Amino acid sequence: MDKYILVLTTVPEEKTGQTIATRLLEERLAACVTISAASQSFYWWKGQISKEPEHILLIKTRAALYPRLEKKIQEIHPYEVPEIIALPVHKGSVDYLNWIEKETKN
């Protein structure tokens, strides 16, 4: 298993993203959270195609923290079914990966 992951989630507004980012950082579940500019999401929800503005959170962390990170996002996220997707980091700058390691140690 890869040691580091990039976790994606979406939020309805930037303020919600800031709240989630701050909580994840305070609890050392992430080393960095990047919040994108507003974008449009098109998706199926309750039998209909929906369209809503959203911001994407790019969460950099260790794979070992994923269960706790997922639980925390689900606790504080406003969506009934939040997008939470983890992608493995196969390669990366050694200095950056070491920094993630250091900043997510409790």
> Whole-prediction pTM value?
0.95
- Chain Cα centroid distance, residue 21: 8
Residue 85: the pLDDT is 98
Mean pLDDT of the chain: 96
Residue 5, burial from CB neighbour count under 10 angstroms (0-12, 13-18, 19+)? buried
Confidence of residue 18 (pLDDT cuts 50, 70, 90): very high
Confidence of residue 105 (pLDDT cuts 50, 70, 90): confident
Its sign, for the CA torsion 20, 42, 5, 69, is positive
**SS3 at position 74:** helix
CB 7 within 8 A of CB 61: yes
Q: State pLDDT tens for residues 21-43.
A: 999 999 999 999 999 999 999 99
Domains of the chain with bracketed CATH: 4-103 (3.30.70.120)
Asked whether residue 106 carries a pLDDT value surpassing 80, the answer given is no
